A and B are shown apart, each in its own frame.
Chain A
Amino acid sequence: MSEGNSIKKFMFVNRKAPYGTIYALESLEVVLITAAFDQDVSLVFMDDGVYQLKKGQQTKGIECKNFSPAYRALEGYDIEKLYVDKESLEARGISEEDLLVDVTVLGAAELGELMNQQDVVLSF
């Protein structure tokens, strides 16, 4: 950690729906901070976490900040590795076209393999 230019592989595993708990928003903030330090960041959305990327979120009625537009800003932060679990999408009747950013849909085995390759895996 002491070398100034050491780049680590960080994976953020997002498994919670966006507004019921604070996890999704907290994850997003940590992701943006990590990216500012030029780390190799990848994001996984599985289980209810896939709901974070659902298009058309309108939060006026619940008086919460709609943070979903920020996922579209990730590209500008050079965060381009967004993986979504195929089975989680299917279990929720959501397709890739329902999502507000471009993602790579992966099966469980491929996700597990990616997970194993990380230096740091953080759950949200």
Chain B
Amino acid sequence: MLHIINKSPLSNNSLDSCLRVAQSGGDILLIEDAVYAATTGNAFEGKIREALEKFKIHVLQPDLEARGLADRIIAGVSPVDYGGFVDLTTANNNCQSWL
């Protein structure tokens, strides 16, 4: 299953809830303001490092670049472009866009 998150984890608990409920082995894609979660030095970094043991975590590169953070991606998080976004949705049986 693919989980898509689009809110910063420091202002919204979607990512927290997703990490708590999602089944291990699933894909998590961080887009829009959720890309902040994928950057080093962010208060959420520890949780992402922990989550990397359970999930495949992806981040949408254009959203990272737009925010000036392309050089601060946490090791283990994989950047994807829009084509990669589409590949993730087709590779999974179902998908949830968390609000």
| A, B bound | yes
- A residues within 8 Å of B by Cβ? 13, 15-16, 23, 46-47, 85, 87, 108-109, 111-113, 115-116, 118-124
Q: Once bound together, how far apart are the Cα atoms of A115 and B97, in whole Å?
A: 12
- Option from A46, A109, A121 in Cβ contact (under 8 Å) with B96: A121
Q: When the two chains form their complex, are residues A123 and B21 in contact, meaning their CB atoms are under 8 A apart?
A: no
Inter-chain contacts of B21 with A (CB < 8 A): 46, 85, 108, 111-112, 115
| In contact, A112 and B94 (Cβ under 8 angstroms) | no
A115 touches B99 (CB 8 A): no
Q: Evaluate contact between B20 and A108: CB separation under 8 angstroms.
A: yes
A124 & B99 in contact (Cβ 8 Å cutoff): yes
B1–A123 touching, CB < 8 Å: no
Please tell me if the beta carbons of B23 and A123 are within 8 angstroms of each other in the complex. no
Q: Are B23 and A112 in contact (CB under 8 A)?
A: yes
Asked whether A113 lies within 8 Å of B99 as measured between CB atoms, the reply is no
Closest A residue to B19 by beta carbon equals A108
- 16 A-B residue pairings within 8 Å (CB atoms): A13-B98, A15-B14, A15-B98, A16-B99, A85-B21, A108-B20, A109-B23, A113-B23, A115-B21, A115-B23, A116-B23, A116-B26, A116-B93, A118-B94, A121-B94, A121-B96
| Cα–Cα, bound, A28→B8 (Å) | 27
Least CB separation from B98: chain A residue: A123
Q: A46-B21, A47-B13 are in contact. Are A121 and B95 (CB under 8 A)?
A: yes
Interface: B17 (CB within 8 A): yes
Interface presence of B69 (CB below 8 A) = no
Whether A115 and B13, one on each chain, are in contact in the complex, defined by CB atoms closer than 8 angstroms, is no
| CB-based contact B17/A115 at 8 Å | no
